[in-house]
């Protein structure tokens, strides 16, 4: 029996040595307790620092360590997809390279999956200590909104740290969409998931790749990817405005019949034109967002491009 741990890495040179130490320890604990082997599959997401050379060294010395390297930065979603595609284990875990996801939880996850009751064991952050308050606030709003307008439930605090069986991995891989929003994808595929709570940890080294704006765009991507309610909202808004316009026409006709037609009212007209222009552009923006995503999907571009793998490197050495 084998466990694969997929680790997306983008500029993690500083954190990797400590991560490797921690995972070696965990792997030997897992072996001692469950008798299972652990393979570490790192996905270098086009890092610009020494991440790749750290990985090359590690893979050269230990057969349990493998890596894939992207030709450029494709994002964590793409890195997770690539890792899941190439993982060989019976159980596959995904975790971050910055030790924000406690490796000791892998043990707990294995024991949950081994009971056969669950197909997936996932970590859920129960505290947000160390996070800017504004970010926590918007993040909560996002989960609220998302769960209200989408059929796919997104659990608050759910993170990508999880372990799943082969069957779940196959299901996730069968969703080949280009705009990947894993929180939604994990939930969309279903299966019985056991949530394991954990406290937020600080990064051991390096810094987060997420800016506020980056998170905002990611949230929009999640909404567009898993809900079409904004389109219905646009249509409803159109109907409401039409109804308003109809009432106004009635009002003007009656007023003109009763009191004649003195010139005036152009400032209100100007405001109205501007308001309607704004509403139309806003709605077109929403439509455009869906159209843009459709455009990207129909191009059927690959989710990532590899530039090197540990298997290639080994072949070259033997050549
Ligand atoms: N990551 C990645 N590609 C990216 C951004 C991040 O593979 O474009 C990896 C990163 O190396 C880390 C994980 O995704 O292992 C989570 O990133 P980060 O710690 O920056 O996010 P946070 O924990 O702050 O949400
Ligand atoms: Mg992190």
Q: Give the CATH number for residue 185.
A: 3.90.550.10
- Tell whether 222 is covered by a domain: no
Q: Residues 72-94: pLDDT tens digits?
A: 999 999 999 999 999 999 999 99
User: Does 52 share its domain with 132?
Assistant: yes
* Residue 46 confidence (pLDDT) above 90: yes
Q: Residues 159-196: pLDDT tens digits?
A: 899 999 999 999 999 999 998 998 899 999 999 999 99
96 CA closest ligand 1 atom index: 15
pLDDT of residue 9: 95
- Tell whether 313 is covered by a domain: yes
- Tell whether 214 is covered by a domain: no
- Residue 78 Cβ < 6 Å to ligand 1: no
- Tell whether 38 is covered by a domain: yes
pLDDT of residue 259: 85
Q: Is 21 helix (H, G, I), strand (E, B) or coil?
A: helix
DSSP 14: T
User: Does 133 share its domain with 202?
Assistant: yes
Q: Residues 191-248: pLDDT tens digits?
A: 999 999 988 888 887 788 888 888 888 899 999 999 999 999 988 988 898 888 888 8
- What is the pTM for the complete model shown? 0.86
User: Does 68 share its domain with 186?
Assistant: yes
How much distance in Å is there from the Cα of 36 to the middle of ligand 2? 27
Distance CA 124, CA 196 (A): 6
User: Does 249 share its domain with 169?
Assistant: no
pLDDT tier for residue 276 given thresholds of 50, 70 and 90: confident
- Tell whether 217 is covered by a domain: no
User: Does 191 share its domain with 309?
Assistant: yes
User: Does 33 share its domain with 166?
Assistant: yes
pLDDT of residue 76: 93
User: Does 173 share its domain with 189?
Assistant: yes
Number of domains in the chain: 2
100 CA closest ligand 1 atom index: 23
User: Does 93 share its domain with 185?
Assistant: yes
- Tell whether 150 is covered by a domain: yes
User: Does 85 share its domain with 57?
Assistant: yes
pLDDT of residue 56: 93
| CA-wise closest residue to 219 among 188, 250, 181 | 181
Atom 23 in ligand 1: residue holding the nearest Cα: 208
pLDDT tier for residue 26 given thresholds of 50, 70 and 90: very high
User: Does 272 share its domain with 203?
Assistant: no
Number of Cα atoms under 13 Å in the Cβ half of residue 93? 30
- Tell whether 84 is covered by a domain: yes
Average pLDDT over residues 58-65: 90
- Residue 79 Cβ < 6 Å to ligand 1: yes
pLDDT of residue 156: 85
Indicate which ligand has the atom closest to the C-alpha of 95: 1
Q: Residues 98-146: pLDDT tens digits?
A: 989 999 999 999 999 999 999 999 999 888 777 788 888 888 899 999 9
- Residue 210 Cβ < 6 Å to ligand 1: yes
- Tell whether 220 is covered by a domain: no
User: Does 66 share its domain with 163?
Assistant: yes
Q: Which helix (H) or strand (E) holds 240?
A: helix 229-259
Domain that holds residue 234: 229-298
How much distance in Å is there from the Cα of 153 to the middle of ligand 1? 23
User: Does 157 share its domain with 57?
Assistant: yes
Distance CA 107, CA 95 (A): 13
pLDDT tier for residue 157 given thresholds of 50, 70 and 90: confident
pLDDT of residue 13: 92
Distance CA 79, CA 197 (A): 25
* Residue 263 confidence (pLDDT) above 80: no
């Amino acid at each position: 029996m084998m466990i694969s741990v997929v680790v997306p890495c983008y500029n993690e040179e500083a954190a990797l040595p400590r991560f490797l130490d921690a995972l070696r320890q965990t792997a030997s604990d897992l072996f001692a307790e469950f008798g299972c082997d652990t393979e570490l599959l790192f996905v270098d997401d086009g890092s610009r620092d020494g991440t790749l050379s750290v990985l090359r060294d590690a893979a050269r010395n230990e057969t349990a360590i493998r890596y894939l390297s992207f030709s450029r930065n494709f994002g964590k979603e793409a890195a997770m997809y690539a890792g899941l595609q190439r993982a060989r284990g019976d159980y596959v875990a995904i975790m971050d390279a910055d030790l924000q996801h406690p490796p000791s939880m892998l043990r707990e996850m294995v024991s949950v999956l081994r009971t056969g009751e669950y197909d997936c064991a996932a970590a859920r952050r129960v505290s947000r200590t160390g996070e800017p308050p504004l970010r926590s606030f918007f993040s909560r709003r996002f989960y609220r909104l998302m769960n209200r307008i989408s059929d796919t439930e997104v659990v608050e605090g759910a993170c990508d740290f999880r372990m799943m069986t082969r069957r779940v991995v196959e299901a996730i891989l069968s969703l080949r969409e280009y705009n990947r929003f894993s929180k939604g994808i994990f939930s969309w595929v279903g299966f019985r998931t056991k949530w394991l709570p954990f406290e937020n940890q600080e990064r051991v080294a390096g810094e987060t790749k997420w800016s506020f704006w980056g998170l905002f765009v990611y949230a929009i991507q999640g909404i567009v990817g898993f809900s079409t309610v904004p389109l219905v909202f646009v249509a409803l808004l159109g109907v409401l405005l039409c109804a308003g316009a109809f009432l106004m026409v009635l009002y003007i006709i009656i007023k003109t019949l009763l009191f004649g037609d003195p010139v005036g009212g152009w400032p209100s007209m100007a405001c109205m034109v501007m308001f309607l222009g704004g509403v139309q552009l806003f709605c077109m923006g929403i439509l455009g967002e869906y159209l843009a995503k459709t455009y990207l999907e129909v191009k059927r571009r690959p989710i990532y491009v590899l530039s090197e793998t540990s298997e290639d490197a080994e072949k070259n050495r033997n050549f």
